[in-house]
């Protein structure tokens, strides 16, 4: 068997009750929540019982998804399933870095809280949203975004799915252009134009935060959204790459292909939903992708990888 990679889910995958069954059954998952609850009282109730409306607010979404991501990964590790590499989609990259030892759980969670506040503030200063475009190649989406005005390709999810962020006016124009080109444009369940130039102030704030809390070298390689390649070991360079991520594209297609070239043939999505599992299937051939949010899914992953 080849190598195993954990993929940590990002914002947009949240849903009411996410991770609830895992926390109830798995001691390692509960331990994660207990530790984070001390830093943000009410986190567990919000994450495990909160409404879709509350979970859609950036200040709530990011810490909740981070908690579920890390809880699921730690539950797998508690069963002896350990990755050779990790990557996280957008917010999930912070959880991946924490799991790999770049930050303590507490510092990573503080970073997530700061990141959520900074991105929410940037969204209020520069309102916008995001669209997932399917049925069109990334190159064509880039052309249409440029024609629309204040719109930018920001998530390269798979060969035929690219997410664009921008101002509301520009995206209305962009939606029409996509229809004319034979594609389909779907609104993403987020509250801002993330990973676009409209998030420049968030990157500046993150750079300042990371200047005082620099990451450490990781125990396993972590693939970076901004480059689609593994992080290096220099703390200053790592901090710069992570800060840049908030206002620059997520190169997810490149990340998956790079991991596969490195020898990964089993991808396990840790955290809420199955979005990343599906993107693996849309991007790579000859590999397997397994979600892990529920105890039942965890059992399937353990059996598939350990053969028990």
Across 56-91, b (16+ Cβ under 10 Å) vs e yields: bebebbbbbbbbbbbbbbbbbeebebebbbbbbbbb
pLDDT at 12: 82
pLDDT at 13: 87
* Residues 6 or more apart in contact with residue 304 via CB below 8 angstroms: 266, 288, 290
Residues identified as active-site: 90, 195
How confident is the prediction along the chain (308 residues), in pLDDT tens digits per residue? 699 999 999 988 899 999 999 999 999 999 999 999 999 999 999 998 889 999 888 889 899 999 999 999 999 999 999 999 999 999 999 999 999 999 999 999 999 999 999 999 999 999 999 999 999 999 999 999 999 999 999 999 999 999 999 999 999 999 999 999 999 999 987 889 999 999 999 999 999 999 999 999 999 999 999 999 999 999 999 999 999 999 999 999 999 999 999 999 999 999 999 999 999 999 999 999 999 999 999 999 999 998 75
**Whether 42 contacts 67, CB under 8 Å:** no
| DSSP 3-state of 166 | strand
Across 252-267, b (16+ Cβ under 10 Å) vs e yields: bbbbbebbbebebbbb
Q: In CATH, what number does 3-124+197-306 get?
A: 3.40.366.10
Can you identify the CATH homologous superfamily of domain 128-187?
Malonyl-CoA ACP transacylase, ACP-binding (3.30.70.250)
Region label for 234, one of left (φ > 0), alpha (ψ between -120 and 50) or beta (otherwise): beta
pLDDT at 173: 97
Instruction: Find the helix packing angle between 105-125 and 27-37, rounded to 10°.
Output: 60
User: Residue 5 and residue 192: Cα distance in Å, rounded?
Assistant: 29
**Whether 111 contacts 238, CB under 8 Å:** no
User: Residue 225 and residue 254: Cα distance in Å, rounded?
Assistant: 9
CB-CB neighbours of 273 under 10 Å: 19
Rounded to two decimals, the pTM is: 0.95
Region label for 240, one of left (φ > 0), alpha (ψ between -120 and 50) or beta (otherwise): alpha
Q: What is the distance between the terminal CA atoms of the chain, rounded to a whole angstrom?
A: 15
Domain ranges of the chain: 3-124+197-306, 128-187
φ/ψ (deg, to 5) at 69: -55, -55
């Amino acid at each position: 068997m080849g190598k195993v990679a954990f993929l940590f889910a990002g914002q947009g995958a949240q849903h009411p009750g996410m991770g609830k069954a895992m926390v109830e059954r798995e001691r390692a998952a509960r331990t994660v929540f207990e530790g984070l609850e001390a830093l943000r009282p009410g986190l567990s109730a919000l994450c495990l019982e909160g409404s879709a409306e509350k979970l859609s607010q950036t200040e709530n979404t990011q810490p909740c998804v981070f908690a579920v991501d890390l809880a699921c990964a730690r539950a797998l590790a508690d069963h002896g399933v350990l990755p050779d590499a990790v990557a996280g989609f957008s917010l999930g990259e912070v959880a991946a870095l924490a799991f790999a030892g770049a930050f303590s759980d507490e510092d990573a969670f503080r970073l997530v809280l700061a990141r959520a506040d900074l991105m929410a503030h940037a969204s209020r200063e520069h309102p916008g949203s995001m669209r997932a475009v399917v049925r069109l190649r990334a190159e064509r989406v880039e052309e249409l975004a440029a024609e629309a005005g204040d719109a930018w390709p920001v998530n390269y999810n798979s060969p035929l799915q690219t997410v664009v962020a921008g101002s509301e006016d520009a995206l209305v124009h962009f939606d029409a252009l996509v229809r004319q080109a034979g594609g389909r444009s779907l609104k993403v369940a987020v509250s801002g134009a993330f990973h676009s130039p409209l998030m420049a102030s968030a990157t500046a704030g993150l750079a300042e935060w990371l200047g005082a809390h620099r990451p450490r070298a990781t125990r396993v390689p972590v693939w970076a959204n901004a480059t689609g390649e593994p992080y290096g070991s220099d703390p200053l360079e790592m901090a710069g790459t992570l800060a840049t991520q908030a206002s620059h594209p997520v190169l997810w297609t490149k990340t998956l292909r790079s991991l596969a070239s490195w020898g990964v043939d089993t991808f396990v999505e840790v955290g809420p939903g199955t979005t990343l599992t599906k993107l693996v299937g849309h991007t790579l051939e000859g590999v397997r992708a397994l979600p892990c949010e529920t105890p039942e899914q965890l059992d399937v992953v353990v059996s598939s990888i350990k053969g028990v």
